[in-house]
Structure 1
Amino acid sequence: MPVAIFLTDEGRLPSLWGLFDMYAGPWSSRLSDHSVAILLLTYSGLVLTATWSGWLLWQARKAGAVLNLGLLPLEAVFWIGFALPVPWLFGIARATLVCLAWPEVTGSRGTRARTGTDRPPR
């Protein structure tokens, strides 16, 4: 949101220590400032939704896992459009962790694992 506000106020994207403009990917060079600001706000909403899906996943809800994985391709469109290099690494880690949590959220580990009766006898 701060980048969108800066863009609408200043008419340019902010730069990171003068090295490069933030969110300056293909979209910023091809679209108007107004359109880029709208896309930045849309991306903010998408990130907030991904955060909410993470909370649902933390609560071991299958809907959180499904939503979290479903949002990744949409987020990837923004990562490409804004030329964001780092989120790709977080996206790979996120997909891996959701897949590892999948048996827990779907209940496919079986009843023995959930009740703790699979412990070896003493």
Structure 2
Amino acid sequence: MRNLRVTMTDVDSVVHRFDDVEDGTSLMELGRQNGVAGILGDCGGGCACATCHVYVAQDWYGRTGEPDEIEYAMLDMVADVMGPTSRLGCQVKMRPELDGLEVTVAPAASYWPAASY
């Protein structure tokens, strides 16, 4: 089984390229393990916050799929920074068809303390 590639641009516009991502790893896990600015994952991946909010590159959004009702409710909490390709990183798990995925970490919503970042 080959490992997968992800390009993640953090909230400081620093581009992180990962070439050895295991199948099944969530974007939240990847970001936290590698200190990507803006990926906090406060709920630990339980889809109970929006501190791993990312924008999926338009070309990739169809492959990641749309948020389900629970994820959408969490994204609605950050409506001021939600975009048309918003996803929670904890809900996007790497799989072969996402090899080469490109995402950008969303800025903090207005109600999240700036000191968290």
Regarding TM over 0.5, the answer is no
Q: TM class, shorter-chain normalised? A: under 0.3
Which is greater in Rg? Answer: 1
Higher relative contact order (CA 8 A, sep 6+): 2
Between Structure 1 and Structure 2, the one with more strand by share is: 2
Give the TM-score normalised by structure 2: 0.26
